[in-house]
Structure 1
C-alpha cells in the first residue's frame, strides 16, 4: 500500500477516497503514517506485517480517547477480514489478548532482574489469517483515558456507543480496509461488549451512518450472557466434572429446585455454601491448572510429584513460551452471575485477578520506551498499565444478551459461541444452555471437531448461522491454553467453512 509522507496529502486523499466510495467506487488510500509502529523494545527482527497504534478521540468535549493496536494480516491484508478484539472484566485491557493469547509475539521474561521481556514471533497469531485491532475499552482501561474523570462512571451502553464511534473514525483513518469483511470478537465480559457493539454497528448501517462498515458477524468466547443461565451453570458443571459428590448435587438440586443463581430459601443457600467450600481452592479459570495458596504447597508439588509428565501437564497452556505463571490466590467469588447494576472490578473486590501473575505484560507496558514506540501516553499522563483496573465504576445496564443474539442472528449475521470446557468462571454448561434456548433448528448435530487428527472439542450448528463450539481441555482464555486449536477454528470459521 502506498504511504503518504505528510498529513495534508493524507487528509486530501482520505476525503477523495470517501467521496468516491460513497458513489460506489473504492479508492485505495493509506493508513496514517504517524501511527506506524516501526519497532518494539524487546524484539529483534522484522515484523511479519505492518503494525499501527495510537488514539482515537471518541468525545472531543470531554477529551475521551480510546487506544488501539492494529496488526495487519500476514497473509492478504486487502482481502482478509478485519477483526476487532475486546477483553472483558469489565475493566480489563485488550493487551491481555495481545500479550498472552493471540498477538503477534510470544513474551519471555527478562533474563536479568528488571530487564525487559524478550519478544519472539508467535506462530499461532491470529494475524496469520486476519487483520486484527486490539482496543482498550472503555476509557480508563489499559492505555485509554479521558481528561474528564466523570467519564470513568460508565456502563454497557455508553461503552458500546463509544466503541462504535471509535470504529467509524478508525475506518475513516484506514479506508483501504472498508471493503474487507468485518467481525467483532472477545471473551469473558466481552460477552456483553460484543453483542451490544454489534447491535450499535447494525443500527448505524441501517440509519445510513458513514462510512458503511462491511459487518459480517461476531464471536464470543466463554462470555457473560444472562444472569439466570450463567448463574445456573456452575453446579451442573461441578457435578459433571466430578468436583462435588452425587449426594451434594442431589441435595442442592432439591433445595434450590434446579435454580442456583438466586437462592430463595436458607436451605438452598446453605447447600450452595457447601458447593463453594468444595471448589474454593481451585483455579476458577481452569480447573486443571494449579492455583497455589502457600509457598510450601508449591515446593512439595514440584519436588515430589511422581505422576507421568503427560498427567502433570494436563490442562497447562501449550503456548511455545511460559508467558504467564499461576500464583497464590483464592478463586473467589464462584457463583455470582453478572446482574443489573454496578459490576465490581477485581480491584474493588480487594484483589487482582486470582491465580494470575501478569508480571510480563505489566513490566513491558509500563516501560516508557515501549509506550513511546507504540504511541501511547506516558505513565505520568494516563497512569500505570494494569491488566484489570479499578479506575472505572461500571454499570451493567444492557440486560440479558439473549435478545441481542436473537436480533443479530435473525438479521443474518454469523455468530460463533466458543467455550473452553474446563473454565469454571463462565462454564460451558451455561453457554450451551442459552444457545439451545433460542429454539433454533439444529442443522449440524453435536459432533467432535478435529485438529491434527485428534478430537479438539465438540460443536453443534444451528439455523441462522449460529454455531456453538467447545475446546477440549481449555480454560477461560482459549487462545492462551490452546493456541493451535484456537487458530484452527478461528481460521476455519472466518473462511466460512465447516469447523
Structure 2
C-alpha cells in the first residue's frame, strides 16, 4: 500500500494511474479533442481525431476518431470499427450505434444535444472509428481519381493506415487488437485481417498484437447471402406456406439467380409481399421524408384520436431511424457496385434518416473541434465512389484466419431482412468446424438476448433477438454485453 493525502492507496491503483498518465503524455496532443459542441461536461476518457496520411502524389488522407477506453487504457483491447457501404462513414457507428454519445434532436432546431452513452463500447475498449476508403466521410485527397476503389485496394490502404496509426500511438502497440465492422464490412474485415496476419508473419513493423475479428450482419458469399431471404421471410411469417412451397418447387433452392420464368414469377410475388417493410428491421416503422419525425401519430386513425386512445408511439431507439448501410439487399455480386448516392437517383432509399448526424458533422465548430480539414468537403453518410467488389467470397478468408488461430465472432440481428441471419448461419456452418458448444440461448440483464453456437478454432456464431441490421443501434445493452464478454474470452 502507498500513502496519499486521502489515506492508503493500493500499489496497483498507483501503477494504473501512472500508466494512464503516461498514455496522456505520449499520445499526440495535436490530435486531442478537448470539447465538442452540443456536449457539456468532461469526457469520460481522452478522445483523439485527425488524419493519417498515405504517401502519394497527392497524398491520401484517412480520417479517424479514437476513443480511449474508459476503464484501463493500458490494458484494454484496441478495436478498429468499420462501417459498410461501401462508401459509408464510420461516424454511423459513432453517432448511431456504440459511440461515447447519444445525439438528441434540439427542440429549437439547432445543433443536436449530446448525452453520454451508457452502453458505449469505450466502456471496455479503446475504439478507432475510421472513414475508409479515401473519399468517404472526412477522408479525402486532392486527386478525386483516387476515389475509384475496390476491396483489395481498400484492405491494403487500411493496413497502411494501421501501421502508421500505431507508429503515432506507440503506447497502444502491445494492447490486444481486434478488427470489427458491419454490413459491407463483412468484406472489409476479413480482407484487412488477412493482410494484418500476413504482415505479422512476414515481420512487418510495427508488429500489431492482432488477436481476432468481429463481423455484424455482414455480407460474405453471394450463394449463401442470395439464398437467405426466402427462408427468412417464410420463417418470420411474411410470406405464406403456399408461396414458400411454390418457390421451393420451381426455384429448387436457387433464389439468387433464378433459372426459369416460373421461379422469377414467384420471386416477384414474394418481393411484392415484402414491399413496404423496413428491410433493416421488419418490426420497426419506416421513416418517410416529410412525415412527422418524432412519432407515428400521423398513421393513427382519426377515430382513435377522438376517443382519446393513447396512440402516440415514438420511433424506437433514441428517436432515430434505421438502415443507413449497404447493401440495399444482399447479395453483393462481383464487379462494380452501385452505391447509395447513385441508387438514390432512381429509387427512394427505404427507412433512411441521417438528419442529426449530417447537421452535427457539418457544423463549423464541430469540424474544427475534431480537426476535420475543410478540403474534405461536406460530410455525408455515404459518398459517391466508383467501387468494385473484387475479393470474391469471404469463406476462404474466414477459414484461413480461424485455422491460423485468430478468434472470430460472427453476429446477426435476427430481424434484419437486408442480410438475413439464415444466410449467415448457413455459411458459418459450412466451414465444417466441430461444434464445441451447441445452439443455446444467451442472456443479458437476466433475459434471453439471443442464441449462440460455438465451433472449434475460436469461431462463434451469435444472434441478437429482436435486433435489426445495425445491432448496437437496436440493442445497445445486449451488444455491450456480448462485446465485452467476447473480448475478455468469457463464455457469452
Q: TM-score, normalised by structure 1?
A: 0.88
Match of 1:337 among 331, 334, 337: 331
* Unaligned 5+ runs, structure 1: 1-26
Q: Contact 1:229/1:433 (CA < 8 Å) preserved in 2?
A: yes
Q: Contact 1:286/1:475 (CA < 8 Å) preserved in 2?
A: yes
1:10 maps to: none
In 1, Cα distance between the equivalents of 2:297 and 2:249?
A: 38
1:101 maps to: 97
Q: Contact 2:330/2:418 (CA < 8 Å) preserved in 1?
A: no
Determine helix, strand or coil for the equivalent of 2:107. Answer: coil
Q: Contact 2:89/2:382 (CA < 8 Å) preserved in 1?
A: yes
Alignment of 1:234-249 (within 5 A): 234-249=229-244
Q: Is 1:263 aligned with 2:258?
A: yes
Match of 2:138 among 122, 140, 143: 143
In 1, Cα distance between the equivalents of 2:78 and 2:339?
A: 30
Match of 1:370 among 355, 366, 375: 366
Alignment of 1:359-398 (within 5 A): 359-378=355-374, 381-390=375-384, 392-398=385-391
CA change 1:81–1:97 in 2 (3 A) is same
- Give the aligned length: 462
Alpha-carbon offset, residue 150 of structure 1: 1.4
In 1, Cα distance between the equivalents of 2:271 and 2:297?
A: 23
Q: Contact 1:152/1:393 (CA < 8 Å) preserved in 2?
A: yes
In 2, Cα distance between the equivalents of 1:309 and 1:203?
A: 59
2:406 maps to: 413
Q: Deviations over 1:129-175 (max 9, x none)?
A: 00000000000100001111111110000000000000000000000
1:111 maps to: 107
Match of 1:34 among 30, 33, 47: 30
Q: Deviations over 1:150-209 (max 9, x none)?
A: 111100000000000000000000000000000000000000000000001011111111
2:79 maps to: 83
In 2, Cα distance between the equivalents of 1:461 and 1:235?
A: 26
1:69 maps to: 65
2:11 maps to: none
2:126 maps to: 131
Alpha-carbon offset, residue 335 of structure 1: 5.1
Q: Deviations over 1:410-469 (max 9, x none)?
A: 000000000000000000001000000000000000000001111000000000100000
1:19 maps to: none
1:494 maps to: 487
* 399-408 or 296-305, which deviates more: 296-305
* Unaligned 5+ runs, structure 2: 1-21
In 1, Cα distance between the equivalents of 2:311 and 2:159?
A: 46
Alpha-carbon offset, residue 382 of structure 1: 1.8
Q: Contact 2:330/2:419 (CA < 8 Å) preserved in 1?
A: no
In 2, Cα distance between the equivalents of 1:498 and 1:280?
A: 39
Alignment of 1:432-471 (within 5 A): 432-471=425-464
Q: Contact 1:261/1:335 (CA < 8 Å) preserved in 2?
A: no
2:474 maps to: 481
* 55-64 or 168-177, which deviates more: 55-64
Determine helix, strand or coil for the equivalent of 1:42. Answer: coil
1:121 maps to: 116
In 2, Cα distance between the equivalents of 1:173 and 1:353?
A: 39
Q: Contact 2:85/2:326 (CA < 8 Å) preserved in 1?
A: no
In 1, Cα distance between the equivalents of 2:437 and 2:316?
A: 29
Q: Contact 2:78/2:126 (CA < 8 Å) preserved in 1?
A: yes
Match of 1:430 among 415, 423, 432: 423
2:246 maps to: 251
Alpha-carbon offset, residue 494 of structure 1: 0.3
Match of 2:182 among 174, 181, 187: 187
Q: Deviations over 1:199-226 (max 9, x none)?
A: 0101111111100000000000000000
Alpha-carbon offset, residue 266 of structure 1: 1.1
Q: TM-score, normalised by structure 2?
A: 0.90
CA change 1:352–1:45 in 2 (3 A) is farther
Q: Deviations over 1:322-380 (max 9, x none)?
A: 2x1369x9x999755101101111111125742121110000000111001000012xx
In 2, Cα distance between the equivalents of 1:428 and 1:495?
A: 25
2:300 maps to: 301
CA change 1:234–1:298 in 2 (3 A) is farther
Q: Contact 1:290/1:326 (CA < 8 Å) preserved in 2?
A: no
Alpha-carbon offset, residue 111 of structure 1: 2.1
Q: Is 1:226 aligned with 2:218?
A: no
Alpha-carbon offset, residue 59 of structure 1: 2.7
